[in-house]
Amino acid sequence: MSSLHELDTPTFRLAVAQFDKAAELMDLDPNLRERLKYPQRSLVVSVPIRMDDNHVEVFTGYRVQHDSSRGPSKGGIRYHPEVNLGEVAALAMWMTWKCALADLPYGGAKGGVAVAPKQLSRAELQRLTRRYAAEIFPLIGPDKDVPAPDVGTDAQVMAWIMDTYSQQVGFAVPGVVTGKPLSIGGSLGREEATGRGVVCVTLEALRHLMIDVRASTVAIQGFGNVGSHTARIMCESGAKIVAVSDVEGGIYNARGLDIPALIAKNKGSGQPLADTKLGERLTNDELLQLDCTVLVPAALSEQITERNAAKLRCRVLAEGANGPTTMEADRIVQDKGIFVIPDILANSGGVIVSYFEWVQDAQRFFWKATDIQDRLNDLMTSAFQRTLRFATTRGTSMRMAALMTGIDKVAQAHLNRGLYP
Ligand code: NAD
């Protein structure tokens, strides 16, 4: 792998600081600590593509596998200009703990390309995706490492990866990616799965805190896959969504936003939410500081920091995004008594339904939407209750309880398998 100092970015430092704290609390074997702090395997690739004006541009891509002791590694692919090795490695590490916490037979991985996808034409995006897939081909496969969508990628991108991989091996391999269109082996319910999972554990938290969902207000940062489905399903569950935002800023309505109208207006148009005139404008900073029952960060990492944590006025923080809260902010949020549903628990609905998709592809047998929703609810509710019990009996935070549970399962797998050779 490339030199370790390339990993040294704020997001990687956050993932390692969380791991170190959990490892200390659980008295994890020092030999395992060193291994689990760094990725098992990292690949950095050049992705040259011909742009529509005929010149060639070279993008940098990554695929990092953090751990595969419990099964194939699993994790999304991110297209964003700020993608770097450290961020991808941090996201891969969180995937390892997330899969173990949910009891899925997977390790963690993540990939990405440093690119602004909205600045590419559809043809350029397809060429970029196919060349990136060809470059990471040696690492991926249904029994090795299975990518999925993340920020800036969607079902169409997964379809191009599936096709590129299938062309190389000479037959259709639906199980090489999840989050695909239904026509090529995708699963019902995958697109909304992360949002549905966020809502499932948020409702559990409200029940635990004895707060009526119908009296609850919700603010959501980010209105992409995770944010928009969380908004829609939370609204269907009876809560009032008072604010939502995207990268340009957000909108607010104390009486509750018309979420179906916002989704209809936003879909495909790329129109910034703030320009929709469906609520008063507000900034992303103002959204995070709103007086509300539930705050859902569903955009990027490190949004809640030392700078703004003391100003949070929510009762529940449901982390739809990966790594939205820094270590310093986490301490402040805990001291304020905010109930935190940590990212590796709150947003695990996506990888859970990805697992269902992979199982359906392997069986060549597809399930009904109600089967998927029921099984997702079962897995998420029991993960939430297990984490809450652990946190209560051990007197620790929900974040540490979730991390310690995930890390412990991975540690057990390493100890049982032993050190090769
Ligand atoms: P997406 O690309 O569909 O949407 C991202 C949203 O965040 C967009 O509305 C964008 O405008 C907004 N955004 C970007 N930068 C922002 C900023 N600086 N401030 C405010 N808003 C900003 O991405 P997604 O798939 O919804 O992923 C969102 C988060 O959820 C990421 O942290 C991702 O890793 C995590 N996540 C996604 C999935 C999944 O299944 N897609 C699963 C688990 C976790």
pLDDT at 89: 98
Portion of the chain with pLDDT greater than 90, in percent: 97
Question: From the CA of 413, how far away is ligand 1's center (Å)?
Answer: 31
Average pLDDT of the segment spanning 142-154: 98
d(CA 106, CA 103): 8
Is the Cβ–Cβ distance between 262 and 245 less than 8 Å? no
pLDDT tens-place string over residues 93-147: 999 999 999 999 999 999 999 999 999 999 999 999 999 999 999 999 999 999 9
- pLDDT, averaged across the chain: 97
Q: Which amino acid is at 321?
A: A
pLDDT tens-place string over residues 180-193: 999 999 999 999 99
Question: From the CA of 402, how far away is ligand 1's center (Å)?
Answer: 22
Average pLDDT of the segment spanning 224-245: 98
Decide: 151 in ligand 1 pocket, CB within 6 A.
yes
Is the Cβ–Cβ distance between 127 and 45 less than 8 Å? no
pLDDT at 268: 67
> Whose CA is closest to atom 8 on ligand 1?
224
Decide: 396 in ligand 1 pocket, CB within 6 A.
no
pLDDT at 269: 74
| Banded model confidence at residue 267, pLDDT cuts 50, 70, 90 | confident
Tell me, yes or no, if 110 is annotated catalytic. yes
Name the DSSP class of 213.
G
Strands 291-297 and 313-318: parallel
pLDDT at 182: 98
Chain-centroid distance of CA 235 in Å reads 21
Instruction: Give the number of other CB atoms < 10 A from CB of residue 253.
Output: 15
Tokens of 73: 């590694």
pLDDT tens-place string over residues 384-404: 999 999 999 999 999 999 999
pLDDT at 3: 55
Pocket residue to mutate for ligand 1, from 95, 246, 284, most atoms within 8 A of Cβ: 246
Name the DSSP class of 304.
B
Average pLDDT of the segment spanning 203-232: 98
Does the structure show a pLDDT above 80 at 28? yes
d(CA 13, CA 7): 8
pLDDT at 1: 43
Does the structure show a pLDDT above 60 at 2? no
Ligand 1 atom closest to Cα of 78? 34
Chain-centroid distance of CA 405 in Å reads 18
pTM for the whole structure:
0.97
Question: From the CA of 18, how far away is ligand 1's center (Å)?
Answer: 21
Tokens of 329: 């902010």
Least confident of 61-65, 151-155, 263-267: 263-267
Residue listed under structure tokens 């800023």: 249
Average pLDDT of the segment spanning 364-374: 97
d(CA 363, CA 334): 44
Ligand 1 atom closest to Cα of 324? 32
pLDDT at 332: 98
| Banded model confidence at residue 367, pLDDT cuts 50, 70, 90 | very high
